[in-house]
Amino acid sequence: MNMSSMVAAVQGPQIISAAPGWIMGLLFAAAMVMIAYTAYATLLAAIGVMAKPVRLKARPSHRFAVVIPAHNEHIVIGNLIDSCLALRYPRKLFDVFVVADNCSDDTAAVARAHGAQVIERFNSTRRGKGHALAYAFARLQAGRRRYDAYLVFDADNLVHPDFLSVMNAHLAAGHHIVQGRLDVKNPNDTWVAATFGMSFWVSNRFWFLAKDRLGLSAALGGTGMCISTAALRRVGWAPGTLTEDLEFSARALLVGLRTHWAHDAIVYDEKPLGFMQSLRQRLRWAQGQTQVIVRYLPSLVWTGLREGSILQLEGAVSLLQPFVVLLSTLLLIADPIVVRTWPVRIVALGAPAWICVTLLNVLLPVAAVLRDRRPRTPLRYLLLYPLFLASSVPLTWAAIFTARNHYWSHTVHTRAIAYTQVVGREGSA
């Protein structure tokens, strides 16, 4: 839920203007969309406050391939492998593979030294995580050893010891695609890392957990994800966008497979320290989401209408979130221009709406911290959280105009954090 959406929703139906009727009609229709979307997001937030994660248990029985794509990650790869090999799951039932993708450092050597099997890949044209995973999946599926599912982690991650046990239980329950909860391993570093962490904590509980409890589809988040071999074969891994994870979720929805949410399967991700670095990373995500929308939104809508599937129609609505941001921005710009009495209405309606939504954006991170027992130290940056959210508006606009870009931008990691450092901080684990 964003501030501009609420302002537009409140102002839209009360338009008074000498502007042409068709412009007023478009503004009114856009305001109705804002109201509906805001109401839906508010419903999910309310469910998220009350929701308790479903805790599944099952005897260890599934065999996993843990796949870690890595490009020049010798600094952080060792700690991730160590946390994977420390998983509380029978060692004979999982193997750890590092895909050393176009590496010019000693990532492969470090990975082998820590006990992982290494798949080296060199391809100067098909670069990036999606292609590295495609190469690894093809190699592993053609190998002698059979796996029931594939787990994917980013090289800078750390993994909770019960991650595999939780995913095993989900597979036993018949779930073919499962996303684990994405936490943050460095939320106390800077205000950027802190607010980035808050955005993940809010999404985890008030978006993905809530949707899962309603029987709707979450979305793969690029790391901490589990895909059964059957689902991988049925959907296929054919990355054509910058967000291969979201793309796979959309393709899976088209064949009726939803992405389940595993709130107790936790992976700790490193967030950028600087604002510009975070902008570059989020721009890539926004570009990828725009590419997924162009490729898959019409098919999701058509299939959902044809089959009467709420699952696919809601998946289409979720994909449209960036355009909802754009729509709300356009309403904010257009409304004062076409409405003669705008100064009065901005004071009477706009300001209270901004205040209400700002308060909500401040309260949700606090609620997420309390409900999931996250570290409280980052909350000292709480007042900067709405600013972090607001920066997504120009990023979304930029993504629309640069959606043809398929260049994969590598995020550089410069320090190693051990799992013991993460679980030792205030309120963790």
Inter-axis angle of helices 351-372 and 21-50, nearest 10: 20
Helix (H, G, I), strand (E, B) or coil at 225: strand
Q: For tokens 């900067």, what's the residue? A: 384
Helix (H, G, I), strand (E, B) or coil at 149: strand
Tens digit of each residue's pLDDT, the chain (429 residues): 444 444 444 444 444 444 566 666 676 677 677 777 777 888 898 999 998 888 899 999 999 999 999 999 999 999 999 999 999 999 999 999 999 999 999 999 999 999 999 999 998 888 889 999 999 999 999 999 999 999 999 999 999 999 999 999 999 999 999 999 999 999 988 999 999 999 999 999 999 999 999 999 999 999 999 999 999 999 999 888 889 999 999 999 999 999 999 999 999 999 989 999 898 889 888 888 999 999 999 999 999 999 999 999 999 999 987 777 777 667 666 655 555 444 444 444 444 445 555 667 778 899 999 888 888 888 899 889 888 988 888 888 888 888 776 665 666 666 667 666 676 554 444
The pLDDT of residue 73: 93
The pLDDT of residue 39: 78
Contact assessment for residue 101 and residue 134, using Cβ atoms and an 8 Å cutoff? no
pLDDT digit string, tens, across residues 324-383: 777 766 766 665 555 544 444 444 444 444 555 566 777 889 999 988 888 888 889 988
Contact assessment for residue 117 and residue 136, using Cβ atoms and an 8 Å cutoff? no
The pLDDT of residue 107: 94
The pLDDT of residue 230: 97
Q: Mind giving me the DSSP string for 218-241?
A: ----SSSEEEEHHHHHHH-----S
Other beta carbons within 10 Å of 347: 10
Residue 192 sits at φ, ψ, to 5 deg, of -70, -50
Helix (H, G, I), strand (E, B) or coil at 65: strand
Question: Residue 41 is encoded by which pair of tokens?
Answer: 């997001």
Helix (H, G, I), strand (E, B) or coil at 29: helix
The pLDDT of residue 342: 44
In the chain the domains, ranked by start, together with CATH numbers, are 1-429 (3.90.550.10)
- Residue burial 239-252, b: 16+ Cβ < 10 Å; e: rest: bebbbbbbbbbbbb
The pLDDT of residue 378: 87
Question: Residue 416 is encoded by which pair of tokens?
Answer: 């190693």
Helices (H), 120-190: 129-142, 163-172
